Amino acid sequence: MMKRFLVILMLVWTTGLAHAQTPDSLDRNRSKYATYSFSKDDQYTVAAPYETVTVRQPKGKKVKNVIFMIGDGMGFEQVSVGWVANGGKLNMDQMPYLGASRTWCADKLITDSCAGGTSLSSGVKTKYGYIGLDADGEPVESNLTYAMRKGMKTGVTVTCRINDATPADFCVHGPSRKDEEGLAAQYVGCGVDFISGGGTHFWNRRSDGRNLIEEMKALGYTFVDRLEDVENAPGDKFLGLFEEYDMSPSLDRGPVLLETTKKAIDMLDNPKGFFLMIEGSQIDDYAHRNKVGQMVEELFDFDKTLGYVLEWAARDGQTLVVVTADHATGGLTLLKGDLEERTVKVHFSTKGHNGIVVPVFAFGPGAQNFAGVHENAEIGQIVRKLLK
């Protein structure tokens, strides 16, 4: 009897010890999200709103730099919900020109990020699933690659894996986003100066045994995998990979998008200009999951980054800033809420994408060209025209 008691006691003790040693990062109840109420996926209240910036449209007409920002899955619906949740203010409000973009692709009314992102990056309508290819499957030149060919510096910073659809649309080519190792491998030697996101699994745990991180280091890239090392990273080539797959939710990962954006602008700014694509990738993820609180926090992370971009662009005077989306997600409806209480209650009609037009905000020289209703490919075409 005593022996059996001791065995049971030992099992209880070891089970408790194992639980006590569970890393905080794996225990969602201990994350920063525990201070927020996410108990109801269709409701959210913001306890502490953030301050937005105040900027004026520059008077100059020369476009030296382009900062192209994509809120993945961010339709007018997501922007409206975020505006209420932050007490009636967003940094997007500071952008003087507003347009709308139709997002359909060459073979489907409801697009995906591959085809939607290709239209924005290159000015070409393409088929569902195609990355940097036209509807015939031929590679097309993105505006980022065009800028590189002109001698401008280039960069991408995102909160998803760097080989996911939208960043890949600007940097590489492929018929399917499922070829994740193949897309990642194309970044080696692609020439993009600043690369930041997640997805180390596809760089150094590959089935072919290659270590793409080491290959990039050999090409002169400084590799960073911790937020605290971003600011002082040396050199003029940057590779930041912060998670094995997509990055953690915004309140857990910290201001990675903001800090990498600051670093990118500092590193890329030069007399010949630069092209930088910034994506708030996980607005889409949490709209897919029908979780309004997490979706709002991802939109806030994106909008806070925009605030820094707008202040920098206003001082520079020669930087065009465009904010748009590849598509909207979730069939979101704002049912009720309160501006003073910063509360929202919503309804999601789908866990997929929808075909409603998405916003196009613009600031800086050439911004007036984005007013009105456009096809998504026209957005890419306008950017190309202004780069010439």
The neighbour count for residue 204, using CB atoms within 10 Å, is: 16
Residue 90: phi and psi, rounded to 5, are: -140, 155
User: What pLDDT was estimated at residue 353?
Assistant: 98
pLDDT confidence tier of residue 4, bands split at 50, 70 and 90: very low
Is residue 132 predicted with pLDDT exceeding 80? yes
pLDDT of residue 275: 98
Which sequence positions are flagged as catalytic? 113
159-200 pLDDT per residue, tens: 999 999 999 999 999 999 999 999 999 999 999 999 999 999
- Give residue-wise pLDDT tens across range 84-123: 999 999 999 999 999 999 999 999 999 999 999 999 999 9
Report how far residue 113's alpha carbon sits from residue 280's, in angstroms, rounded to the nearest whole number: 13
Q: Which of 348, 171, 177 is CA-nearest to residue 246?
A: 177
Per-residue CA distances from 196 to 62, 77, 172, 324 (Å)? 28, 28, 15, 20
Neighbouring residues of 310: CB distance < 8 A, sequence distance ≥ 6: 53, 55, 91, 94, 95, 321, 363
Report whether 211 contacts 193 (CB < 8 A): no
Query: How many distinct structural domains can be found in the chain?
Result: 1
Question: For the residues 356-377, what does the mean pLDDT come to?
Answer: 98
**Does residue 196 fall inside a structural domain?**
yes
pLDDT digits (tens, 9 = 90+) for 267-293: 999 999 999 999 999 999 999 999 999
Between 10-19, 226-235, 379-388, the lowest mean confidence (pLDDT) is in 10-19
Q: What is the mean pLDDT of residues 225-238?
A: 98
Residue 47 lies in a domain: no
| Per-residue pLDDT, 25 | 38
Q: How remote is the C-alpha of 129 from its chain's centroid? A: 18
Has residue 43 been placed in a domain?
no
Q: Does 384 have pLDDT greater than 80? A: yes
Does residue 247 form part of some domain? yes
Average pLDDT, the chain: 92
Domain, as residue range, for 179 = 64-387
Residue 35 clears pLDDT 70, i.e. is over it: no
Identify the three-state secondary structure at position 84. Answer: helix
Q: To the nearest whole percent, how much of the chain has pLDDT over 90?
A: 89
At 49-91, the pLDDT tens digits run 999 999 999 999 999 999 999 999 999 999 999 999 999 999 9
CATH assignment of the domain containing 259: 3.40.720.10
Give the residue among 297, 287, 383, 277 at the shortest CA–CA distance from 73. 287
Does residue 267 lie within any of the structural domains?
yes
Work out the pLDDT band at 32, boundaries 50, 70, 90. Answer: low
pLDDT band (50, 70, 90) for residue 22: very low
Tell me whether residue 221 is in a domain.
yes
SS3 128: coil
